[in-house]
């Protein structure tokens, strides 16, 4: 993985010193809250309901065991013994004291981490496919490009005060696991007919109060032009994006109001002027960054098939886990393991300090020293020998993280919601917990098959509800929580925004409503091969509406 | 009826303005303003707390009293007063539980 060079170290150290001084000046009263707030936000420090919150960047979701241990240490020493992994592949601590944050940032810098640009109207942490560099269906590892974008965008003077925040996601596979079509810029790394690497460029996707699917404005951008083209997009946005209304300030609104063709023309004009500038990426520089992401030397482990087959025979729990949580690796002796942070009834995305330490140990022993955070709020061990899967499973059982539910109905995305967040209108986590408990039976989950439930506690949509197969949005109505349901969303290639199905449900009704939806799917599907999403596309909303509201319509 | 809520600058802890214009950690000890004049006074003291860098995010919170205890009307403020509903072991509610168990 990427290692800081001298410049990176000096840059992060200087930033920690600067923010430490700002915190001191705030505590002494030299800075007012109005002066300090934008400074703390630029360093990932929010104020929530019970305490401050510190959001730490995990670039493209890649972590080393050493870094994960440091996060465990911070959780244990400065927080309340746990951390929350987010849909932007970051980690949030929900209880840090302002007085401790300078020391936390110093500790993070020791392991090449920081909290810069995890808030504010700037280019945020660049996200990527969590199976990057390991997946069998990948053209090339997208992380070198994500790293190039990270370096270029860090404290970029021109793009520090954008109209609004700006999120970029990169994937290197046809199967989009990075939700690129719901990002401000989505980059799909691919090869052209001549075998050269480049990108399909999507722009103007986003969730929040006005969900939009991104428009493709380039089918193939040569890799050397990455920064010139992205700069061109950012310039057009920075100049023309709306600053009069926060809710209309994202690039998706600019794309929508300008029209894709006109926006594309403006970007191309800017790009023509930039193309031969210093932004052109020299081949040697791309390959130098790429070298940091050289795949680990994976030893031949041909005994994997026999070991897995034997373990499957012996243990139904292992069989279920390997079927759901092990994904095809490009090396047939290996697998990508999903460590589910979605234990039945647990808080989606939370991991304790001890669990983080244990996963770091497992990654060192069996995982070639790599850990990833997925936007689905799970952890990934991208390079595990199939022959070691029984040992990894056993180690995960020990720490309560062997739930065999990747991609199933209980693998729920949920934002922190009103239990923590100052912006939320309703709780998300208890809804996730109740649904998880209702569908706890592994047999029932397996019978239901692939199904993504995504829950947000407010319209800002951190829980990606718009692109859940079943999406749940919590709102506040007359002082009480109310949950609106959308169906048919997807964040995969050819993303779709879910449709609102009807009136909302109270906190005591919502899990039952989800169960009704799932039962309706089961009774209408054309066989187990037809997933919930496919069945919904075929059936439309009608049978689900009838199941949920039919009796009311008849009564009325 | 209203009370004045804020977060303490140094650690973000939720606090309310209590008797003698002190910031208190338990909502039960918050001073209840029963008329406009008292609300104005709370806000003025809160502004002072902001200016003297004791607290941030100062807001008036609507409440009712239930069996003599302060009960915020909005769930948001009730969660703020207790702690995350999913973690009875964390936040103010944990401290209260520990005290009542002792």
Question: Which of helix, strand or coil describes residue A110?
Answer: helix
Does residue B89 belong to any structural domain of this protein?
A: no
What stretches of A29-142 show up as alpha helix (H) in DSSP? Answer: 33-41, 65-78, 101-110
Q: Is A239 inside a domain boundary?
A: yes
Mean pLDDT of A230-253: 97
For B50, the closest of A33, A47, A51 (CB atoms) is: A33
Among the candidates A342, A369, A398, a domain finishes at A398
Examine the pLDDT at A470 and tell me if it is beyond 70: yes
Looking at CA atoms only, how far is residue B11 from chain A in angstroms?
Answer: 4
Q: Which long-range contacts (CB under 8 A, 24 or more apart) does A438-445 make?
A: A438/A511, A438/A514, A438/A515, A439/A409, A439/A410, A439/A515, A439/A518, A440/A344, A440/A345, A440/A410, A442/A320, A442/A404, A442/A405, A445/A405, A445/A408, A445/A409, A445/A410
- Burial of residue A373 (CB within 10 Å: 0-12, 13-18, 19+) is buried
Write out chain B residues lying below 8 Å of A97, CB-based.
Answer: 10-12
Contact A417, A87 (CB under 8 A): no
Residues A508, A361 share a domain = no
Which residues on A lie below 8 Å from B9 (Cβ)? 26-27, 33, 98
| Mean pLDDT along residues A211-222 | 98
- Would you give the DSSP letter of residue A440? -
The residue range of the domain holding A100 is 6-110
CATH number of residue A68's parent domain: 3.90.480.20
Residues of B in contact with A427 (CB under 8 A): 75, 79, 85-86
Same domain, A313 and A449: no
Q: Indicate whether A193 and A325 sit together in one domain.
A: no
A417 shares a domain with A387: no
**CB–CB contact B75 A479 (8 Å):** yes
Domain count, chain B: 1
| pLDDT at residue A237 in the model | 98
CB contact under 8 A, B86 and A429: yes
According to DSSP, the residues that pair with B2 across neighbouring strands are B33, B62
Q: What are phi and psi of A470, to 5 degrees?
A: -115, 120
In this structure, are A311 and A371 located in the same domain? yes
Question: For residues A231 and A510, what is the distance between their CA atoms, to the nearest angstrom?
Answer: 44
Chain B residues whose CB is inside 8 A of the A419 CB are 79, 84-87
Q: For chain B, give the mean pLDDT.
A: 95
Residue A386 has pLDDT above 70, yes or no: yes
Nearest CA in chain B to A37: B56
Residues A17, A19, A24, A30, CA torsion sign: positive
Q: What confidence tens digit (pLDDT) does each residue in A4-36 have?
A: 999 999 999 999 999 999 999 999 999 999 999
User: Which of A33, A48, A99 lies nearest to residue B56, judging by beta carbons?
Assistant: A33
Calpha distance A261→A293 (Å, rounded):
36
pLDDT of residue B95: 84
B16: closest CA of chain A, how far (Å): 12
Give the separation between CA B85 and CA A477, rounded to whole angstroms.
Answer: 19
B92 CB-near residues (< 8 Å, 6+ apart): A50, B14, B25, B26, B27, B81, B82, B83
A418-429 pLDDT per residue, tens: 999 999 999 999
Residue B99: is its pLDDT beyond 80?
Answer: no
Residues of B in contact with A418 (CB under 8 A): 75-76, 79
Inspect the interface and report whether the beta carbons of A99 and B11 lie closer than 8 Å.
yes
Inter-chain touch A48–B12, beta carbons under 8 Å = yes
Residue of A30, A31, A33, A50 for testing the chain B interface, max B β-carbons within 10 Å: A50
The domain in which residue B26 lies consists of 2-74
Cβ neighbours of B57 in A, within 8 Å = 47
In a domain, residue B42? The reply is yes
- Kindly determine whether residue B84 and residue A52, on different chains, have CB atoms separated by under 8 Å: no
**pLDDT tier, A552 (very low <50, low <70, confident <90, very high otherwise):** confident
Any domain includes A125: no
Asked if residue A263 has pLDDT above 60, the reply is yes
Q: Is A130 helix (H, G, I), strand (E, B) or coil?
A: coil
- From chain B, the residues in CB contact with A432 under 8 A are none
Residue contact A49–B11, C-beta within 8 A:
no
Arithmetic mean of pLDDT, A271-294: 96
User: How many contacts does A have with B, using Cβ atoms within 8 A?
Assistant: 77
CB A401 within 8 A of CB B62: no
Conformational region of residue A81, where left means phi above 0, alpha means psi within -120 to 50, and beta covers everything else: left
Instruction: Using the 3D structure, point to which of A260, A292, A324 is the last residue of a domain.
Output: A292
Residue B20 has pLDDT above 60, yes or no: yes
Q: Mean pLDDT, chain A, as a whole number?
A: 97
Domain count, chain A: 4
Evaluate whether residue B17 is within a structural domain.
yes
Instruction: Tell me, yes or no, whether A262 and A149 share the same domain.
Output: yes
pLDDT bin (cut points 50, 70, 90) of residue A264 is very high
Same domain? For A211 and A351 the reply is no
Report d(CA A243, CA B77) in Å as an integer: 32
**A228 and A153 within one domain:** yes
| Position B96 in a domain | no
Residues of B in CB contact (< 8 Å) with A are: 7, 9-14, 50, 52-53, 56-57, 73-76, 79-80, 83-87, 90-92
Residues of chain B with C-beta less than 8 angstroms from the C-beta of A424: 76
Same-domain check for residues A273 and A170: yes
Distance from CA of A466 to the nearest CA of B (A): 24
- Is a pLDDT exceeding 70 seen at residue A462? yes
DSSP state of A467: G
Residue A430 lies in a domain: yes
Residue A302 confidence (pLDDT): 97
Q: What is the CATH number of the domain that holds A439?
A: 3.30.413.10
- Give contacts of A429 with chain B, Cβ < 8 Å: 84, 86
- Shortest CB distance from B75 goes to which of A52, A420, A481? A481
Query: Does residue B102 carry a pLDDT above 60?
Result: no
Q: Which residue of A has its CA nearest to B50?
A: A33
pLDDT in tens, B45-86: 999 999 999 999 999 999 999 999 999 999 999 999 999 999
Residues A212 and A350 in one domain: no
Last residue of a domain, one of A373, A398, A423: A398
Asked whether the predicted pLDDT for residue B101 surpasses 80, the reply is no
What residues contact A389, with CB distance under 8 A and at least 6 apart? A304, A307, A308, A311, A318, A322, A326, A335, A337
Candidates A27, A49, A436, partner chain B, best to mutate (most B CBs within 10 A): A49
Residues of A with CB under 8 A from a CB of B: 26-27, 29, 32-33, 47-52, 80, 95-99, 347, 418-420, 424-427, 429-430, 433, 476, 479-481
Q: Could you give the ipTM of this predicted complex?
A: 0.96
Work out the average pLDDT over A363-379: 98
Model confidence at B100, in pLDDT bands (50, 70, 90)?
A: low
Q: How far apart, in whole angstroms, are the C-alpha atoms of residue B58 and residue B52?
A: 13
A288 and A176, same domain (yes or no):
yes
Min distance A42 CA to chain B CA atoms (Å): 18
Q: Is residue B67 part of a domain?
A: yes
User: Under a CB-based contact definition with an 8 Å cutoff, are residues A363 and A65 in contact?
Assistant: yes
Q: Which of A87, A129, A531 is nearest to A327 (CA)?
A: A129
Residue A405's nearest CA partner among A341, A354, A469, A454 is A341
Mutation target for A interface from B13, B51, B53, B64: give the one with most A CBs within 10 A: B53
Please check whether residue B25 lies inside any domain of the structure.
Answer: yes
Q: Is residue A404 part of a domain?
A: no
Portion of chain A with pLDDT greater than 90, in percent: 98
State whether A150 and A97 are in the same domain.
no
Partner-chain residue, chosen from B11, B73, B92, that has the shortest CB–CB distance to A479? B73
Q: Out of A395-399, A532-536, A550-554, which region has the weakest mean confidence (pLDDT)?
A: A550-554
Looking at the partner chain, which of B10, B52, B92 has a beta carbon nearest the beta carbon of A99?
Answer: B10
The span from the CA of A366 to the CA of B61, in Å, is 53
């Amino acid at each position: 993985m990427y290692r800081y060079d001298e410049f990176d170290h000096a840059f992060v150290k200087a930033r920690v010193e600067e923010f430490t001084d700002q915190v001191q000046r705030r505590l002494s009263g030299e800075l007012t809250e109005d002066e300090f707030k934008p400074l703390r936000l630029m360093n990932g420090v929010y104020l929530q309901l019970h305490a401050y919150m510190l959001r730490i960047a995990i670039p493209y979701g890649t972590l080393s065991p050493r870094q994960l241990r440091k996060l465990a240490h911070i959780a244990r020493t400065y927080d309340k013994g746990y951390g929350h992994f987010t849909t932007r592949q970051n980690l949030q601590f929900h209880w840090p004291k302002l007085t401790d944050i300078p020391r936390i940032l110093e500790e993070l810098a020791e392991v090449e981490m920081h909290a810069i640009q995890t808030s504010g109207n700037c280019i945020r942490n660049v996200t990527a496919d969590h199976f990057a560099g390991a997946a069998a269906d990948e053209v090339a590892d997208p992380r070198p490009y994500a790293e190039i974008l990270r370096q270029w965008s860090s404290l970029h003077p021109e793009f520090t005060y954008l109209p609004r925040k700006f999120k970029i996601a990169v994937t290197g596979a046809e199967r989009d696991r990075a939700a690129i079509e719901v990002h401000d810029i989505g980059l799909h790394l691919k090869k052209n007919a001549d075998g050269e690497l480049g990108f399909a460029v999507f722009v103007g996707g986003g969730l929040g109060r006005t969900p939009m699917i991104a428009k493709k404005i380039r089918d193939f951008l040569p890799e050397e032009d990455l920064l010139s083209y992205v700069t061109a997009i950012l310039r057009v946005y920075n100049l023309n994006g709306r600053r009069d209304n926060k809710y209309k300030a994202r690039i998706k609104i600019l794309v929508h109001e300008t029209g894709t063709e006109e926006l594309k023309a403006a970007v191309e004009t800017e790009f023509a002027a930039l193309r031969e500038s210093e932004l052109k990426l020299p081949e040697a520089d791309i390959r130098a960054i790429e070298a940091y992401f050289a795949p680990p030397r994976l030893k031949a482990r041909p005994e994997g098939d026999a070991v897995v087959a034997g373990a499957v025979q012996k243990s139904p729990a292992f069989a279920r886990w390997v079927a759901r949580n092990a994904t095809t690796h490009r090396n047939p002796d290996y697998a990508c393991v999903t460590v589910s942070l979605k234990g039945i009834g647990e808080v989606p995305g939370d991991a304790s300090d001890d669990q983080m330490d244990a996963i770091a140990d497992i990654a060192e022993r069996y995982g070639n020293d790599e850990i990833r955070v997925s936007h689905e709020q799970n952890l990934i061990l991208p390079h595990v020998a199939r022959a070691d899967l029984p040992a990894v499973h056993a180690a995960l059982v020990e720490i309560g993280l062997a739930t065999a539910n990747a991609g199933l109905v209980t693998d729920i995305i949920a934002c922190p919601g009103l239990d923590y967040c100052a912006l939320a209108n309703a709780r998300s986590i208890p809804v996730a917990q109740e649904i998880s408990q209702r569908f706890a039976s592994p047999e029932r989950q397996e019978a239901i098959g692939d199904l993504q439930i995504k829950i947000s506690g407010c319209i800002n949509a951190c829980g990606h509800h718009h692109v859940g197969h079943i999406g749940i949005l919590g709102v506040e109505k007359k002082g009480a929580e109310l949950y609106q349901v959308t169906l048919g969303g997807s964040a995969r290639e050819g993303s779709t925004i879910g449709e609102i199905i009807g009136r909302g449900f109270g906190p005591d009704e919502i899990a039952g409503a989800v169960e009704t939806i799932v039962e309706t799917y089961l009774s209408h599907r054309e066989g187990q091969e037809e997933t919930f999403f496919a069945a919904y596309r075929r059936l439309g909303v009608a049978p689900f509406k009838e199941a949920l509201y039919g009796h009311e319509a008849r009564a009325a | 009826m209203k009370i004045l809520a804020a977060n303490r600058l140094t650690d973000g802890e939720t606090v309310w303005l209590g008797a003698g214009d002190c910031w208190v950690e338990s909502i039960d000890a918050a001073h209840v303003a029963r008329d406009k004049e008292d609300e104005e006074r709370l806000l003025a003291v809160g502004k002072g707390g902001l200016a003297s860098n004791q607290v941030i995010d100062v807001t008036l919170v609507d409440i009712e009293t239930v069996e003599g205890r302060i009960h915020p009307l909005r769930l948001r403020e009730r969660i703020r007063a207790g702690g995350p509903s999913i973690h009875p072991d964390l936040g103010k509610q944990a401290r209260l539980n520990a005290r009542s168990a002792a």
